[in-house]
Amino acid sequence: MATNLAIDNTLLSAALDIGGLSTKKDTVTLALREFIQRRRAEDIIGLFNRVEYAAGYNYKKLRRRK
């Protein structure tokens, strides 16, 4: 899909330098992938401490070999 975007040249130049990529397209693609990965990770982290465990559950008992 061809798209024309007005991207801040200062940001794009900095991203090219930091990312070490040779093209603007590769740099934008990498930035989008990292953005998506970070947001998904934040969603998963938001689930921490929300799981309720059964009070009488003994996980150590299940580790014992018979």
Give me the pLDDT at residue 47, please.
Answer: 83
Annotated domain spans of the chain:
9-63
| Integer Cα distance of 58 and 43 in angstroms | 29
| Integer Cα distance of 4 and 56 in angstroms | 59
Q: What is the pLDDT of residues 15-34, one digit of tens each?
A: 999 999 999 999 999 999 99
pLDDT at 8 over 90: yes
Question: Which tokens hold the place of 33?
Answer: 């992938």
Using alpha carbons, select from 18, 15, 40, 39 the residue that is nearest to residue 28: 15
Question: Which tokens hold the place of 60?
Answer: 């150590």
